[in-house]
Amino acid sequence: MVDLLSQYNKIKSQVDKAILDVVESSAYINGPEVKSFQQELEDYLKVKHVIPCANGTDALQIAMMALGLKPGDEVITATFTYVATAEVIALLGLKPVLVDVDVDTFGLNPDQVRAAITPKTKAIVPVHLFGQCANMDAIMEIAQEHKLFVVEDTAQAIGASYTFKNGETKMAGTMGDIGTTSFFPSKNLGCYGDGGAIFTNSDHLASEMRMIANHGQSVRYYHDRIGVNSRLDSIQAAILRCKLPHLDAYCDARRAAADFYDKAFAEVPEIKTPVRDAQSTHVFHQYTLQLSGAVGRDALVDYLQTQEIPCMIYYPVALHMQTAYRDDRYTDGSFPVTESLVQSVFSLPMHTELTNEQLTKITTAVVDFIKNNRK
């Protein structure tokens, strides 16, 4: 699905030197590389504060901890997402309130968000799934109307931007109160281990989150609140500093691969290619298709496996159907869009190093299988 080695080889000498410099400096924790990366990412995102941390799940947890919520407070998020989004909400004793997504963009459905609001609702967590922003115009409007926090899960969409109806353009993760991201190796800006970061324009939330990520202390050995230990390693920061200048080119390379796929599937009626929203750029963390008609999705996935073509289902089970998150509030049929997506979606290889030869092999296999199996 990804080709991290070829990507590394193109910047190998620079990355190798950066890693070696950290090793020789012996500033392994919170060294100058972390601070420099923080500032460079602030510039890139045009956001006031970046707080590096250990991974994208921690980023979400620290964000949630900073909002001053009480057990039982409700947080609205999507049922069609990676588990981490709802996991941290539940872990903190808050109540995840799941809602359905938009069938075209896979982002939170604003009408469903509105319908899910109760007096206990305190926050909305839109997920910019697969690399495209959720409907932030509507979500920010709902949040303002009901005085709710917005925490954007930007793990899959760093580098994307969104243009509001008033003409203002902002980077993904900088529109709400807080944005979070992950530098997991396969993410669009990946390091060579675990890493994450939190973004905010609020001085108050930034100082709270810095404190939380550092055991609840701002002065060493004086703990003002209960925190966690969540740091970005200096080595990972040094690697990210080598990669950040390439992020826009990486996004372009992903979009070029998506264009190739779009064209190859344009005449296949069973395939719905990703819908590109007019207000958001798409950075294609995943290239996710929807399959309809007589050819079964699972049969296609099995066939691609026999051709040694990677193919994944993101995600095969909706959160409200997961054993850990099942709840009397939800039954089969609660969220028809998501329940249909989990049956119909499949994702093809998507990364910065795809060649036309590989793309041709992949698209030919998909198209041929569908043509040969029409009933």
Ligand X SMILES: *Cc1c(COP(=O)(O)O)cnc(C)c1O
What does the binding site for ligand X look like in residue numbers (CB under 6 A)? 55-57, 81-82, 84-85, 127, 153, 155-156, 182, 184, 194, 196
Question: Min. distance of Cβ 270 from ligand X in angstroms?
Answer: 27
Q: Which residue matches tokens 């959720």? A: 134
Question: Which residues, in sequence order, are CB contacts of 177 under 8 Å at separation 6+?
Answer: 67, 149, 150, 151, 200, 202, 205
Question: Min. distance of Cβ 302 from ligand X in angstroms?
Answer: 25
Question: Min. distance of Cβ 176 from ligand X in angstroms?
Answer: 15
Is beta strand 121-125 parallel, antiparallel or unpaired with respect to 74-78? parallel
Question: Min. distance of Cβ 263 from ligand X in angstroms?
Answer: 27
Question: Min. distance of Cβ 315 from ligand X in angstroms?
Answer: 10
Task: Identify the sign of the CA torsion 4, 162, 58, 201.
Answer: positive
Is beta strand 49-53 parallel, antiparallel or unpaired with respect to 196-200? antiparallel
In the bound state with ligand X, the residue whose beta carbon lies nearer, of 254 and 303, is 254
Question: Min. distance of Cβ 92 from ligand X in angstroms?
Answer: 15
In the bound state with ligand X, the residue whose beta carbon lies nearer, of 123 and 295, is 123
Question: Min. distance of Cβ 58 from ligand X in angstroms?
Answer: 7
Helix 297-306 and helix 356-372, axial crossing angle in degrees, nearest 10: 130
In contact, 234 and 27? CB cutoff 8 Å: yes
Question: Which residues, in sequence order, are CB contacts of 74 under 8 Å at separation 6+?
Answer: 94, 95, 97, 118, 120, 121, 122
In contact, 353 and 6? CB cutoff 8 Å: yes
In the bound state with ligand X, the residue whose beta carbon lies nearer, of 130 and 303, is 130
Question: Min. distance of Cβ 174 from ligand X in angstroms?
Answer: 17
In contact, 277 and 132? CB cutoff 8 Å: yes
In the bound state with ligand X, the residue whose beta carbon lies nearer, of 73 and 153, is 153
Of the candidates 226, 156, 163, 145, which has an alpha carbon nearest to the alpha carbon of residue 189?
Answer: 156
In the bound state with ligand X, the residue whose beta carbon lies nearer, of 127 and 242, is 127
Of the candidates 326, 331, 299, 334, which has an alpha carbon nearest to the alpha carbon of residue 313?
Answer: 299
In the bound state with ligand X, the residue whose beta carbon lies nearer, of 351 and 370, is 351
Token representation of residue 37:
């990366």
Task: Identify the sign of the CA torsion 186, 235, 40, 46.
Answer: positive
Q: Kindly write down the DSSP assignment for every residue of 180-216, as one continuous string.
A: EEE--TTSSS--SS--EEEEES-HHHHHHHHHHHBTT
Question: Min. distance of Cβ 281 from ligand X in angstroms?
Answer: 18
Q: Can you state the percent helix, strand and coil of the chain, rounding each to 5?
A: 45, 20, 40
In the bound state with ligand X, the residue whose beta carbon lies nearer, of 189 and 359, is 189
In the bound state with ligand X, the residue whose beta carbon lies nearer, of 303 and 314, is 314
Tell me the residue number closest to ligand X, measured at CB. Answer: 56
In the bound state with ligand X, the residue whose beta carbon lies nearer, of 56 and 107, is 56
